[in-house]
Amino acid sequence: MEDAMRQYIELVEEADPSFLFDDDDEGEAVAATPPPGSATSAGGGSIFDAIRDGRPLAPFLPAHANAVDEESGLSALHLAVDSENEGAVELLLAARALPDAVDPQRSTPLHYAALLGSVSLVNLLLGAGSDPAMVDDDGKTPSTLAQREGHKEVAKKLLVALAAPAVSDGLLPGRLPTVDLAAWLHGDTDTREALALAFDEAFRNWGFCSVRGYEELLPEAVITEARTQAVEFFKLPVDEKRRLARVDGVVGYLGPGEETVSDSVGAEAKVGKAQGDPTAKPPVKAAADPVESLNLPAYQEAGITWEAATAAASCPWRAASYLPMSPTGFGPAAVAYFEGVTKLMLELNQLMEAALNLPRDHMHAPFERPGTLLRFAYYPPQPPNGGAASATAPGLRYGEHTDYDGFTILQRDGDDGLSGGLEIELSDGTWAPVPSLPGHLTINIGDLFARWTNDRWRATRHRVTLPKGTAAAAGRLSVVYFTGPHPDTVVSCLPSTKCKCLSGGPQYPPFKAGDHVRMKMLAATAAAREGTANGEGGTLV
Ligand SMILES: O=C(O)CCC(=O)C(=O)O
Ligand SMILES: [Fe+2]
């Protein structure tokens, strides 16, 4: 095994979850700021001259560790890396030079090291906490540059670092593991192997990851159009939206308070592990969720025959009365989104096959006619004190829950690097925000995948909190694609040595995908149907 890979595995094994997602600084570029005074020493010349000439840096440190050359806009660290002066790089980092200073093109020292293809410089910088996810003005990460230049070893190291939680000294803020789909689609065998490994570790440790590089499957313009149309839809008078409520009150339009997602926790207990499910926790006390949603399912309603969802023409909810007449653009925009995000799902399934060493195309048959649900969720503005959030769960927009099915592909507000309220439960029971970054989707898995993988992968509990202060006055839109196999699929432990089913370990009894998902959906909407929710409830058609 490659050294980089071994190091990565060691890092992941040592990682402490409690440091993940402490994302105050997530994604922020740290501008290289010159220290007060000049970067010139009495000893002659500047720190930049000393680096260029290979002279001792001691007279300039630590005072000028973050000096910026006025002419070029480069930090001392940029220059030291560019000069391949490892000694200077070490001294600067030890003197607390900012590892992610940016030059006028927003390139970091790690971009420089990647372009040079220097393994040792990349190691030094990553070790000092350089962020491999930083993008320059051209939207390139260091790993993209290394790949472009044919520096395979460096590219692989950076890809693995990108997907791994930042652990360095355990005190630095962590980040959501990130998987670059473009690298998966176009990378060589080594690259794909590294990504599959990272994918497995992400779901094994956190149950969540971030995905980028999906543009060729799901273009940004399609996302924007779907979001724009959905926002217009939710502005419609409530009577008009209610026309899209469905007879069973489980899918279609659900008004504010008609869902209590935390009621779904534990609803799957009936299909629990024969030996007892050690991860099952008692259901949390339910409060109706102040959210309204339009849910476009592939299969849930009796009487609707499921047709192949990968072909837009036969998408089951397209011809049915699921879609609003107004705004007129919403239907086509939803179909375009559905097509793109379904392609994305199929790639994630292939990553899953590689990650779990499953036979190639193992996921193909169950997903040929997948049981998906496309959900547009709108969290209306709330008064700053938490208003409509109920007394039992003040400050929540969407209660604690695990998702029900396969991959959840979440597109949410947030070009600001903030979480927008999404939080996950860490293994010590504390909650941590999940940063949302431009050009990234958040992926997590639901209980069905956790069971299918015999709990190798985690269905992590999460919730949406109400932002504090005036931010609560802004509405919030999420576009969520719940993926899953055809409802008739019998789910029993995947034939992967990684899932320990082949060796006869404890397993869940087989269950039907559709039964499981349906049970959870019914549980989440039961209170509204029975008229006990504290929301306004609604007349179902
Ligand atoms: O809106 C979000 O950020 C998350 C929504 C969610 O967890 C869900 O719809 O299952
Ligand atoms: Fe969720």
Distance 481 CA to ligand 1 centre (A): 10
* Dihedral angle computed from the Cα positions of residues 42, 47, 49 and 55, in that order, rounded to the nearest 10 degrees: 80
Could you give the 3-state DSSP secondary structure of residue 379?
A: strand
Domains 47-164 and 220-268+287-302+314-383+395-533 share a fold: no
State which ligand 1 atom lies nearest to the alpha carbon of 379: 1
Task: Label the pairing between strands 431-433 and 511-512.
Answer: unpaired
Residue nearest to atom 7 of ligand 1 (CA): 463
Alpha-carbon distance of 511 to 526, in angstroms, equals 22
Residues in the chain: 541
Q: Closest by alpha carbon to 145, among 109, 175, 177?
A: 109
Which mutation among 227, 376, 422 tests ligand 1's pocket best, with the greatest number of atoms within 8 A of CB? 422
Alpha-carbon distance of 15 to 26, in angstroms, equals 18
51-94 tens-digit pLDDT? 999 999 999 998 898 888 989 999 999 999 999 999 999 999 88
Alpha-carbon distance of 67 to 282, in angstroms, equals 56
Q: Closest by alpha carbon to 257, among 524, 51, 28?
A: 524
What ipTM did this prediction achieve?
Answer: 0.99
Put simply, whether the predicted model's pTM sits higher than 0.80 gets the answer no
438-478 tens-digit pLDDT? 788 999 999 999 999 999 999 999 999 887 666 677 889 99
Q: Which residue has the tokens 């050009």?
A: 439
Q: How confident is the model at residue 282 (pLDDT cuts 50, 70, 90)?
A: low
**Domain ranges across the chain:** 47-164, 220-268+287-302+314-383+395-533
Alpha-carbon distance of 295 to 368, in angstroms, equals 21
- What CATH number does the domain located at 47-164 have? 1.25.40.20
- What CATH number does the domain located at 220-268+287-302+314-383+395-533 have? 2.60.120.330
State which ligand 1 atom lies nearest to the alpha carbon of 403: 10
